[in-house]
Structure 1
């Protein structure tokens, strides 16, 4: 750890009437689980998110590594603005990720599945054009998983490795959450607002950098010294408490921002 690296980040203030809120999902709104399909939102969370979205005039979006159909399942009946697969998918312009899978990625998937059969608890998550290898259920296999991914990424043109919390993902090189935030910020209702990004993992650092560059707020969930975030919340429980405080803020504090011409 470098000398002078801050160990403490203050909690974020309440949102004002000119903010746009971008929320990561896993590790931020959801606690991690051994299987990604076993997670559930806390009770009342949907009502709080809906209230806050209404008060922000719809300027609340999910920015996640999950595909859009999984986000819609988790947040049903809400259908929020969203960027799925780290920004490979957007609401209203969804790509068909499975239609453009490089043969080299398919070959890597076969190797990854063989490794998973040798190490119970390793999980291969096929997202179509993205592939994630999880080892939360098999911490002893972490080095083998990382080594396989690092050894093969050079064979998959146009792809990069995205490390995360007990996961490494193979993603298109031109896709990240910072790009997703910038894309959304060019459109209403996000246009002209102060961007606020809340996330926990290394994938979210791209989002932090994007909002910081645009005069926004970046909020790290959990503790990591080498982060671009300028605010912090301890865990998903603290995130939901902060969201509730914002939702309970008087509606008069959420008048829409002045239209820009």
Structure 2
């Protein structure tokens, strides 16, 4: 089944960013957004009457910067912050991250190539440049998180992230589905990472579809090979729908 067949006007579309719409870069700030993607996202948002949202581990401000001038609904920092379709900002309660930050920064100072990224209510330790340090990074972050009330550890692709315990991509999707223009629609979520699995489970529990980008075990019902293939499918879906609905 192609995306053109999946994306009916009654759908709500939720999209991860890194590794899904864009290729993963060596550093978070080195991501490149293909210019045609902006037009495709705008067309999809128009076609679905505003029911398109980005669901990402990145802060909302970073998503806006990468997609400028496009400004979509966004669930950022794994749902710790969320901007609805009307532009209203919803923030989850956060907890102190001092202990986690100290542990991550100490490790990064000892091992060049590690990157500490602080966000609102969250802190990520990236080890993409030093994959051999994965076990060390995970152990240090897990220990610090266990000593930090209200915080949980989330593992992603070459990253360990401490985040608020109540935040998840699944919760962000459910919150969107409780309000216009997403309410009453069939949800489709497209992602690539283990952090997206809860989103796949959520939309499929609600009668929608999860779509996994790339290899690896997943609960998602459909797969797409890579971000480039997804961009082509999104372009084809837009073209097909515009042809049918001039």
Q: Quote the residue 2:14 is aligned against.
A: 22
> What is the RMSD computed on CA atoms of the aligned residues?
1.8
Residue 106 (structure 2) aligned to one of 114, 136, 139: 114
TM-score by length of 1: 0.88
The C-alpha deviation readout for 1:126-168, integer Å capped at 9, x for no partner, is 0131000110011121111011012221111011110000001
Single out whichever of 37-46 and 208-217 deviates more from structure 2: 37-46
Contact 1:22 1:62 in 2 (8 A): yes
Q: SS of the residue aligned with 2:89? A: coil
- Runs of 4+ in structure 1 off by over 6 angstroms are none
- Report the number of matched residues: 241
CA deviations over 1:38-77 (Å, ceiling 9, x no partner)? 1121131101110111011111110111111111101110
Picking from 93, 96, 101, the partner of 2:89 is 93
Which residue number in structure 2 is paired with residue 31 of structure 1?
23
Q: Which residue of 29, 34, 58 corresponds with 1:42?
A: 34
Of residues 198, 212, 229, the one that matches 1:206 is 198
Task: Tell me if structure 2 keeps the 8 A contact 1:164–1:203.
Answer: yes
Q: What is the aligned partner in structure 1 of residue 59 from structure 2?
A: 67
1:141 pairs, out of 126, 130, 133, with 133
| 1:163 matched to 2:155 | yes
Partner in structure 2 of residue 221 of structure 1:
213
Structure 1 position 11, deviation (Å) = 5.7
Q: Normalized against structure 2, the TM-score is what?
A: 0.93
Following the alignment from structure 1 to structure 2, what is the Cα–Cα distance between the partners of residues 230 and 96? 30
What SS does structure 2 have at the residue aligned with 1:250? helix
Tell me: CA distance 1:38–1:175, structure 2 relative to 1, closer, same or farther (3 Å). same
Stretches of structure 2 lacking an aligned partner (at least 5 in a row): none
Match of 1:4 in 2: none
- 1:129 pairs with 2:139: no
Partner Cα separation in structure 2 for residue 254 and residue 58 of structure 1: 17
Contact 1:17/1:253, CA 8 A, preserved across alignment: no
Unaligned runs of 5+ in 1: 1-9, 256-261
